[in-house]
């Protein structure tokens, strides 16, 4: 007893595919029904249905139709090769997507820092976000992200304000030729150090990376952050830190 063949609609509803998909499979020669009615209606027999089930299995693994076709038509590819190849491609894609997701996450936290919503600012912040990838390792970025969320939004602005207060003072001290070992500069150095440690979590590698970044990307960062330390400030404050060390002994 042979079962009557199925028409597309029936096959579609029974297999959960769309009629269009079955048409498509026919078009590309992946699954052509072995029978047609005189008027041209597709009739699928047992063998066709079996093939469709195989196709569905392979599609569940995300294998592209062209490769499914080659596999089922017995081309020169072992299942193992196909799976391994596909897995490799998937991992590549995943790596890319993950990098994108990390970027977007970083961008989102950066967006929380500033209150602006202009497109120009957004693009600037993207630049900063991308630039940071060059100066910090993935783990360091992770640490920074955590620091930022733990510091919180409100305090973040206080920190910004404090930098905006300190940096002009340092600039003025440099142009005025004030001795970095003088008491008022040492007081500033103490505040500076506290700010840095709060931001970097005390990791000297991160502090160094921050410094390198400011040296290379100063102008870009300045547009977003406001006051930003320049290389000569780092040098000057270095001497102030030395004096701070001495005085605290």
Beta-bridge partner residues of 35 = 43
Closest alpha carbon to 224 in 97, 125, 151, 141: 125
Closest alpha carbon to 132 in 144, 119, 148: 144
DSSP secondary structure letter of residue 2: P
| Binding characters for a copy of itself, 60-99, by CB under 8 A (x = yes) | xxx--------xx-x---xxx--xx-xx--xx-xx--xx-
| Binding characters for DNA, 53-92, by CB under 7 A (x = yes) | ------x----xxx--------------------------
**What is the distance between the alpha carbons of residues 178 and 122, in angstroms, rounded to a whole number?**
39
* 189 interface partner picked from DNA, a copy of itself, none, CB below 5 to 8 A per type: none
Measured from the CB atom, the residue of 15 and 223 that comes closer to DNA is: 15
Least Å distance, CB 53 to a copy of itself, is 7
Cα separations in angstroms, 92 against 89, 96, 137: 5, 6, 20
Residue tagged 């973040």 (tokens): 156
Q: How many CA atoms lie within 13 A of 94 on its CB side?
A: 6
| Residue numbers 106-165 binding a copy of itself by CB under 8 A | 107-108, 111, 117-123, 126-127, 130
Which residues of the chain form contacts with a copy of itself (CB under 8 A)?
53-54, 57-58, 60-62, 71-72, 74, 78-80, 83-84, 86-87, 90-91, 93-94, 97-98, 100-101, 103-105, 107-108, 111, 117-123, 126-127, 130
């Amino acid at each position: 007893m042979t079962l009557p063949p199925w028409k597309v609609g029936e096959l579609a509803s029974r297999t959960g595919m769309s009629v269009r998909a079955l048409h498509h499979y026919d078009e590309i020669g992946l699954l052509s029904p072995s029978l047609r009615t005189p008027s041209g209606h597709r009739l699928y027999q047992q063998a066709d249905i079996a093939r469709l089930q195989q196709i569905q299995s392979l599609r569940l693994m995300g294998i592209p139709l062209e490769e499914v076709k080659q596999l089922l038509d017995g081309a020169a590819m072992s299942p193992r090769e196909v799976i391994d190849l596909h897995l490799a491609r998937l991992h590549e894609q995943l790596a890319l997507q993950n990098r994108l997701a990390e970027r977007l996450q970083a961008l989102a936290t950066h967006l929380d820092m500033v209150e602006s919503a202009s497109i120009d600012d957004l693009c600037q912040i993207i630049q900063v976000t991308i630039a940071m990838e060059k100066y910090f390792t993935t783990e360091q970025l992770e640490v920074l992200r955590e620091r930022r969320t733990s510091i919180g939004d409100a305090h973040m602005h206080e920190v910004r304000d404090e930098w905006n207060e300190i940096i002009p003072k340092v600039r003025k001290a440099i142009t005025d030729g004030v001795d970095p070992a003088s008491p008022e500069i040492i007081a500033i150095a103490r505040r500076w150090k506290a700010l840095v440690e709060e931001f970097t979590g005390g990791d000297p590698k991160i502090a160094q990376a921050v410094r390198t970044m400011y040296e290379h990307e100063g102008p870009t960062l300045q547009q977003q952050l406001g006051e930003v330390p320049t290389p000569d400030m780092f040098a000057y404050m270095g001497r102030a830190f030395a004096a701070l060390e001495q005085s605290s002994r």
